[in-house]
Amino acid sequence: MTVVTDVLRQSVVVFSQNYLPMSRVNIKRAIVLLVTGKAQALDFSIGNGHLVRSPSTNIHVPEQIRLTFGNRERVWKVPPVNRREVLRRDAHACQYCCSNRHLTLDHVMPRSKGGPHTWDNVVTACEGCNSRTGAIELP
């Protein structure tokens, strides 16, 4: 059994209303958010969490909580697409032929067809594949 004072040093992960991880708070803060209805438990598996015992009651505090209100000031910002990070994500290999030479970034859905410059539309491609995919005309 965990001693209360140890439990109180634990932290809880806070997710935004739309399930994006935002920050960690200590367990006292998490309890306040839960009892005031500003957050709800977000436990994916049984047995996670911390049991906080007080003389009058036992509170089960999950390891993850989700805010029940929108927080406009702290909107999750996706960082802009960055060549170095795309290469790292794709393990420095062309996503079409696995070559690791003459790497460029390719838009899966071409920019000319309205493909966005976003993480899920940008892949690592060698120069050869990049120019080939660019030439493919979709029916």
Classify residue 95 by its DSSP letter. Answer: T
Please tell me whether residue 99 binds Zn ion under the rule CB under 5 A: yes
Binding Zn ion (rule: CB under 5 A), the pick from 65, 86, 94, 122 is: 94
65 - beta bridge partners? 14, 41
Query: Can residue 96 be called a binding residue for Zn ion (CB under 5 A)?
Result: yes
Q: Which is nearer to Zn ion, 39 or 103 (CB)?
A: 103
Using alpha carbons, list the distances in angstroms from residue 28 to 4, 76, 122, 134. Answer: 11, 24, 42, 55
Q: Interface with Zn ion includes 15 (CB under 5 A)?
A: no
What Cα–Cα distance (Å) separates residue 108 from each residue in 33, 65, 116, 132, 135?
A: 43, 36, 9, 12, 12
Minimum separation from the CB atom of position 111 to Zn ion (A): 19
Asked if 97 touches Zn ion (CB under 5 A), the answer is yes
Residues that bind Zn ion (CB under 5 A): 94, 96-97, 99, 126, 129
